[in-house]
Amino acid sequence: MSEILQNLSNDLAETVATAGPAVVRVEARDRLPASGIAWSADGVVVTAHHVVERDDNINIGLADGRTIPAALVGRDPTTDLAVLRAETSGLSAPAWDGGDDLRVGHLVLALGRPGNNVRATMGIVGALGKSWRTPSGGTLDRYLQTDLVMYPGFSGGPLVGADGRVLGLNTSALLRGVSLTVPFGTLRRVVEALLAHGRISRSYLGVGSQPTRLPEGLVEQLGQETGLLLVSVEPGSPAEEGKLYLGDTIVALDGQPVRHLDDLLSNLGSDRIGNTVPVRIVRGGQVQEVDVTLREHP
């Protein structure tokens, strides 16, 4: 038994040594630095959006001890990803893995570099699922949850499989109290879009809203207790062109219930740009539907 444990211990240490050089320190907020992953040798780094609290005066710390300036290329709050670029070469990009063979119960490591040295914590894959829409409307290619303890400064660092290949980027910000990993497929899609355009295209309505409780009669009719009361409608927006008015209450979009703002945002992805969708509203105490053609968010 002691030999088995020793071999496992050595293998884990070797895994950290293999993936560690790709983990960088990200200094983009006033408190504790966070972590990032070298995406390519020419200075591109991917990290978590929520740890990049400023758009300039950003530095990254490398495995060789150097600290160099970096610029923000773009960010996608809906998947909690941001891309930085440093004027350097020779970054150690990791070997990536789509995780097709990953199963619940597999051992995984989370790596971080909030200080000068790489740090690690171990856990297991706690849950796997299919494509998942985040509360703010982004789409992850798969749902990947671990039981890892996300220590301060670990967000933006990699999730590493037992073979040393990187499965994705860890974040503690997509779901409160849950350690999630943005999988490699999503990383590649978002990073390539940010490098090409500096932003992620999204559809929008052009309204300001607040949750409101529905009258008892409508609660029974609609099967929900709340909707979104429109407190503003932008001139020239899809909402105005679709005849949505101040005082309307949105209760569904394209057949999906809208109870809170997150419900609305989660249904305004890039895949709906140009689509005409039915919006169910309450107007004057009556349930109605209007068709709105969604456009790209300006």
11 is catalytic: no
Nearest 5°: the CA angle 149, 56, 189 is 60
Structure-token pair, residue 41: 């040798």
Among residues 35, 155, 179, 209, which one is catalytic? 155
- State in Å, rounded, how far the first CA of the chain is from the last one: 61
Q: Is the dihedral angle over the CA atoms 133, 189, 120, 34 positive or is it negative?
A: negative
Quick one: how far is CA 224 from the chain centroid? 28
262 is catalytic: no
Among residues 76, 80, 141, 263, which one is catalytic? 80
Quick one: how far is CA 13 from the chain centroid? 29
The residue with tokens 């293999």 is 18
CA distances from 168 to 25, 85, 108, 184 (A): 17, 19, 11, 5
155 is catalytic: yes
Question: CA-CA distance, 80 to 173, in Å (whole number)?
Answer: 7
Structure-token pair, residue 55: 């758009």
Among residues 49, 50, 172, 237, which one is catalytic? 50
Structure-token pair, residue 232: 């503003």
Question: CA-CA distance, 232 to 266, in Å (whole number)?
Answer: 20
Active site residues: 50, 80, 155
